[in-house]
Chain A
């Protein structure tokens, strides 16, 4: 380093790397605005004729977004190709469902056990699986999905309900609220779950744990040789992901008043995958954006019926190959152009990359 440059560096002081601490630059106004909009939405929407319908769509969006975010946490950030997400959702749903259906618990109490059992199941899958690499993880998690499906269909009667799943499970009751009033309460519960999940996942991603996970994904050998406990970290991440997935499963069971064995059907996995891929694989906001897009478009895609899966598959393939970051970078660009508190250039959200193989450049 030349002496001039050294002097300049001293004068400027040690500069914080913006990309390393992106949470410092979240605008309070943006977050506050979103929260306020979320709180006021039902009051405004119920004035509209289709308001109740829009509220149920939002509830659906919140839950799907929670599951998609959790999946993205392990798949996009962790690089763990787990296909057990839907099965964990089902574990949460069945836990709460059985407690209410067979033991007659209050849904609000029972739903607290969904995430716990889902985490236990995740540890059960994770212990044999997470020491292995990509392909093996795909296979073993698919195997778990299949085993869970078989168990749900052919298991004991209080679980399988004779092959159809649980029907007529107690739903959430808010005093004697009915109709729109009840939908509003349901909306707030869903929004609360969504907000907590989003905040926790945000904090996880921007914590030492998140950095370690990303390091493991991008260069396993390097990360491990820097002393990162690969297995332990993956297990923790898997458990966090399962926690919120299970919670969403429990909520949906009491929202729908039952859980059917069709949750294991392949289209469910595909929809979630589409949310992550279209929104942005391995980005924070991607799954939320993707959930919004997929659920929003679905209202129109009903018209084209069977062509839906055809297009969805092609869109997945095209985005994965030609725009692996999905649509999220577009939104980020707009945000940093008009709304960011400082006029610093947007930090690069590095896409999942293959490890560098030596080489001088």
Chain B
């Protein structure tokens, strides 16, 4: 029983985080058609800024959280201005952005190594304390992560559905040329989407770092997991990211608890290969025409 509760709790917790990372990836893919391999680097930027605010400025994590998130969003936007915008709509967009985002993530982890040395850092949790549920330790921080993730999914969904800017994003993602003829500023919309995606990665970075210690490369694994979640759920599908996050999180956790940690990652990879054979577009994948 303890094991089952342990597996389900771990699954829901990590599922919600994977979902949060995947939400950012899927937004950018859906709107800009950009595979952002620097997503993990943005995660690290948010986490390190929050760490710096708490450790050097001795401010509360409640102050550090929004600062970290803003820093992550600003970093993503700067990346957009410097490296994505110059190649928008040009031939070779895929190649250029793929390599550029890989290059940026290398630079970020190298910079983090130089500034903060390779020691593991501890970002304080927003909430402390825990309670025991049938032998499993449930932390309040974990509950906060799950609630935040769900709330952000709801917010992003409402934003895309009901606000003018959200509608602009969907319009651009569906028919870029028609949208620009309706006088929607396409490049600025892209900038907005990338900044939002960066902010989401920043939230994940700050809230997750109390669980996994923070190191210059700690963004890589969440990014790979998010990539898997995004593809499992269907590229460009928000509902897919949410569902797939929990499905994969629980699957991984169950494998981990019952078969050992070494099998978790291979198990997930096997699952995604099976998924791609059965449903090449993922759970909620929507062809090539309609995205988001």
Chain A residues packing against B (C-beta within 8 Å): 79, 81, 128, 132, 134-136, 138-140, 142-143, 146-147, 150, 154, 266, 270, 273, 277, 281, 306-310, 312-322, 324, 351-354
Q: Which residue of A lies closest to B117 (CB)?
A: A306
B113 touches A139 (CB 8 A): no
**Interface assignment of B100: CB less than 8 Å from any CB of chain A:** yes
Q: Which residues of B contact A310 (CB under 8 A)?
A: 106-107, 110-111, 114
Q: Which residues of A contact B224 (CB under 8 A)?
A: 139, 142, 146
Give, as a whole number of angstroms, the nearest-CB distance from B112 to chain A.
10
Q: Name 25 A/B residue pairs within 8 A (Cβ), A-sorted.
A: A132-B280, A135-B29, A135-B235, A136-B276, A138-B37, A139-B224, A140-B272, A140-B276, A143-B273, A146-B265, A147-B269, A270-B106, A273-B102, A281-B99, A308-B110, A312-B106, A312-B107, A316-B100, A316-B103, A317-B107, A320-B98, A320-B103, A321-B100, A324-B92, A354-B93
Chain B residues packing against A (C-beta within 8 Å): 29, 35, 37, 83, 86-87, 90-111, 113-114, 217, 220, 224, 227-228, 231, 235, 262, 265-266, 269, 272-273, 276-277, 280
Q: How many A-B residue pairs have CB under 8 A?
A: 126
Given A315-B103, A320-B83, 15 more pairs with CB closer than 8 A: A128-B273, A136-B276, A139-B228, A139-B272, A140-B273, A147-B266, A306-B113, A309-B110, A312-B106, A313-B104, A313-B105, A320-B97, A320-B103, A324-B96, A352-B91
Give, as a whole number of angstroms, the nearest-CB distance from B105 to chain A.
7
CA distance A140 to B276 in the complex (A): 10
CA distance A352 to B90 in the complex (A): 11
Give, as a whole number of angstroms, the nearest-CB distance from B281 to chain A.
10
A352 touches B269 (CB 8 A): no
Q: Which residues of B contact A317 (CB under 8 A)?
A: 83, 99-101, 103-104, 107
Q: Which of B110, B217, B228, B277 contacts A313 (CB 8 A)?
A: B110
* Smallest CB-CB A-B distances: 6 pairs: A316-B103, A313-B107, A313-B106, A317-B103, A309-B110, A320-B99
Q: Which residue of B lies closest to A355 (CB)?
A: B91
Q: Which residues of B contact A315 (CB under 8 A)?
A: 103
Give, as a whole number of angstroms, the nearest-CB distance from A143 to chain B.
4
Which has the most chain B C-beta neighbours within 10 Å: A132, A313, A316? Answer: A313
Q: Which residues of B contact A134 (CB under 8 A)?
A: 35, 94
Q: Which of A139, A319, A353 contacts B92 (CB 8 A)?
A: A353
A320 touches B96 (CB 8 A): yes
CA distance A313 to B105 in the complex (A): 7
CA distance A308 to B108 in the complex (A): 12
B273 touches A314 (CB 8 A): no
Q: Which residue of B lies closest to A128 (CB)?
A: B273
